[in-house]
């Protein structure tokens, strides 16, 4: 369907004066402004310094336990270094460990998964205790603030 002047005028009448005729459409022209010197740029646009707030981690909070792969890595690294004393690159040791882990069957990995689940259960218990202590500690601080005369 081709747009003629007549159909364009009819559509303008229906929709309002905002739409232009195809012949009236203008191309955008870009206004060129002179470049500002380096001195005026600095004066005109001061850089805002953004300070990142460091998340303060509680030192008493229990750390997450390693995964099964890391337990395997610890054991494998010792064995690999005994068998290959000339290889000292952690990159090479890591690659060998990854390849070995991929080729292992689930039955071979069960030992490490069991270790990881035990440590994970200990972590969950420690985390629950930590949360309880933290809640008690916050409540005690609030009570002491209410009792003070300040």
CATH number (domain holding residue 94): 1.10.30.10
pTM over 0.95: no
Q: Is residue 85 part of a domain?
A: yes
Structural domain boundaries, residue 141: 68-147
Residue 118 has pLDDT above 90, yes or no: yes
Q: To 10 degrees, the CA torsion angle through 121, 122, 125, 131?
A: -120
Q: Is residue 53 part of a domain?
A: no
Q: Is residue 74 part of a domain?
A: yes
Residue found by looking up tokens 């740029």 in the block: 41
Conformation bin of residue 49: beta by default, left when phi > 0, alpha when psi is -120 to 50: beta
pLDDT at 73 (0 to 100):
92
- The number of domains in the chain is 1
Cα separation, 71 vs 2, whole angstroms: 73
- pLDDT tens, 34-85? 666 655 555 555 555 666 666 777 788 889 999 999 999 999 999 988 998 8
Q: Is residue 116 part of a domain?
A: yes
């Amino acid at each position: 369907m081709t747009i003629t002047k007549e159909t364009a005028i009819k559509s303008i009448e229906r929709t309002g004066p905002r739409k232009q005729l195809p012949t009236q459409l203008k191309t955008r022209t870009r206004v060129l402004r002179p470049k500002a010197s380096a001195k005026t740029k600095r004066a005109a646009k001061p850089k805002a310094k953004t300070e990142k707030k460091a998340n303060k981690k509680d030192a008493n909070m229990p750390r997450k336990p390693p995964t099964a792969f890391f337990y395997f890595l610890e054991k494998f690294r010792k064995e690999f270094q005994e068998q290959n004393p000339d290889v000292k690159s952690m990159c090479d040791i890591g690659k060998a460990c990854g390849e070995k882990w991929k080729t292992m069957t689930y039955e071979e990995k069960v030992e490490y998964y069991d270790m990881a689940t035990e440590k994970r259960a200990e972590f969950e218990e420690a985390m629950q205790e930590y949360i309880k202590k933290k809640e008690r500690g916050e409540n005690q601080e609030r009570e002491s603030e209410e009792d003070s005369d300040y």
